[in-house]
A and B are shown apart, each in its own frame.
Chain A
Amino acid sequence: MSNGLLPSRQLIGVTRFHWQQLLGPIVVVIAVSYLTSGVSASFSYLTEGALALLVMVLSLQVFIGNSGVLSFGQAAFAMVGGFASGLLTAPVKIKENVLDGLWEPLKAVNMGIWPSLVIAVLVGALFAFVTGLLLMRLSGLAAGIATFALLMVADNVFFNWKLIGPGPQVMPQVPKFAFVDESIVLTVIVIIVVYFFGISRRGRLLRATREDALAARALGASVWHLRVLFFTVSGGIAALSGAMYAHHAGAVTARDFYLGFTFTTLAMLIIGGASSLWGAVVGTILVTAIGQVLLVLEGGVTFGSVEVTLPNGARGLVIAAALVVILIWRPKGVTGGKEFNLPFLNRKSAAAHDSHVQRTDANMNIKP
């Protein structure tokens, strides 16, 4: 809709509430989840894992999409969340037998999945807040490098410090979600949170700082405050993703949330379109689907008399190639950074909006 002739300071992404921008992704996520998880037990397991990844991509979207600052460090918060929720729910006996170096109070504690998820989110958000106070003073390349350093620091700490986790071992016997429904409910909650943060006054201001930092600051927006706020929210959501992943796999290690995890989720966000919530959903579905097809092909498939077998690692190559293609030809992602929108659902409200505008024109008695 924007006029191409004028100097453009577009605020891509949602700016005001449209019910279909929120309900569209929710309906798609619920429908796709139930369709795929209904196929077989292994598909149900796959769906649950994909939902944990989707929550991570949403965590990236709420920060990167709104601030325009690239962060490679959000997986560190997923690590925090996965460890927190895993340690809080694993049976005391297992912890005593397997994790002898663990801090005593952590050994003794045991709670249900839901309270542990809440604690995981709070711990992740706190961790993000504290690190964000420093990191959010940086922008551009410096921010990218510093957040990457954060990831490496977190990985080294969790991989070696046995007081707060299993160290290089696997933390076993983490209770699993009983159904795929828990993951769906959590994902829907995150979609709602991310959506409302995006359209909030502060979300709009943060995107304004991305488009024109000087203009936004001249209006009174503090870039640092806004970034720290969204970094904290993103950290909490990333921790939830890590916790969901732990309760999906039934085990957790530091290496679950390292480079592969970071690369996959960032690829999902960029392929889908970083500046919209819908882009995060589309990217996750697309990359997961492509990955599954290729996984099957890696195992070998027979079409009639022809047997097709892809070499191992083809998956990573294809996703990397898809990322390059997207960055060259469609840098805003396959959704173009736009939110979910079915035009035929809009017709009614658009007509109502137009008539409202005409009425105000008539009232003011001024020619537009």
Chain B
Amino acid sequence: MSLLSVRGLQAGYGKVQVLFNGHIEVEPGELVGIVGPNGAGKSTFLGALAGSVRPSSGSIEFQGTSIRGRKPEDIVRLGLALVPEGRAIFTDLTVTENLRLGLTGRRDKSGSAKAIAEVTELFPVLASHRGHQAGLLSGGQQQQLAIARALVSEPKLLMLDEPSLGLSPTVIQDVFGVLNKIQELGTAIIVVEQRAHLIMSVASRTLVMREGHVRATLTREDARDETKLAAAYFGTGEDRE
């Protein structure tokens, strides 16, 4: 059984429909990418999964139960955590205090200290800055903090919205390096990215979105074939799924 199974998802803002056909299957521990040009509906798709955007139709099944229309705070408790675009860490709080806010989404409150310890082990740079104000961290460190804060709730599926935004290439490598480590711990990940090559090199499958539709699913082998990506990305040639 898939961890997450989404079919025919539609969503938008008021009368403006942005997402026309969102579908995705994620197996436990899998890393799936979503790429596509600006305005393709990638963030709306993630928002609909996380509950911050209300879907108008379609189905979302997480671990066999429907979560469509549930509130974001309930969805986190079921084990589906979102790291929103632009990191959204609280700059006036220290690193540890930010991590503690992440504990809110835990179902069982026992083992909270252990969860923080494990997560900081994954991000050594956070351990060394734990008493520092989060606003004084570099962009890459803040992104790691945002990911760590979501991990503290011990999600089964972690969703990242453009983690590379505003980061330099070397820092992006650090952040993406951590993704594989998280995956090794058994957490499935969905990453929305503008940088297609970057995500296709680490993801087992990558969905290509365009104009509110998932137009193609590319494997890691497809990533080496420039023409396939370009065709899916820009809509030239046949859509393939």
A interface residues (Cβ-Cβ under 8 A, vs B): 1-3, 6-12, 15-16, 201, 204-205, 208, 211-212, 214-222, 353, 356-357, 360-361, 364, 366, 368
Contact = CB atoms under 8 A, between A and B. Distances in A.
B189 to A, nearest CB: 15
A208 B101 contact: yes
A275 to B, nearest CB: 11
A10 B135 CA distance: 9
A97 B149 CA distance: 65
Contacts of A7: 86-87, 91
Interface in B60-102: 71-73, 76-77, 81-84, 86-93, 97, 100-102
Nearest to A202: B104
Interface string B178-201: 000000000000000000000000
B150 to A, nearest CB: 8
Given A15-B97, A219-B104, A366-B125, A9 B76 contact: no
B101 A205 contact: yes
A366 B120 CA distance: 13
Contacts, number: 112
A7 B101 CA distance: 19
Contact of A6 (B71, B131, B132, B142): B142
B24 interface: no
A217 B129 CA distance: 25
Contacts of A15: 92-93, 97
Given A6-B142, A220-B76, A368-B128, A1 B90 contact: no
Contact of B91 (A2, A217, A368): A2
Contact of A221 (B73, B92, B97): B73
B124 interface: yes
B52 A217 contact: yes
A350 to B, nearest CB: 12
Contact of A218 (B82, B127, B135): B82
* 3 interchain residue pairs of minimum CB distance: A220-B105, A215-B88, A217-B72
B52 A218 contact: yes
Nearest to A16: B97
Contacts of B101: 204-205, 208, 216, 219, 221
Contacts of B97: 15-16, 204
Interface residues of B, number: 43
B135 A3 contact: yes
Interface string B136-159: 100100100000011001000000
Contacts of A221: 73, 101, 104
Which of A10, A204, A218 counts the most chain B CB atoms within 10 A? A218
A368 B95 CA distance: 13
B67 to A, nearest CB: 14
A208 B101 CA distance: 9
Given A10-B91, A220-B77, A221-B73, A214 B127 contact: no
Contacts of B89: 9
A15 B136 CA distance: 17
A9 B133 contact: no
B228 interface: no
B153 A201 contact: no
B153 A366 contact: no
Given A2-B91, A11-B93, A364-B124, A219 B105 contact: yes
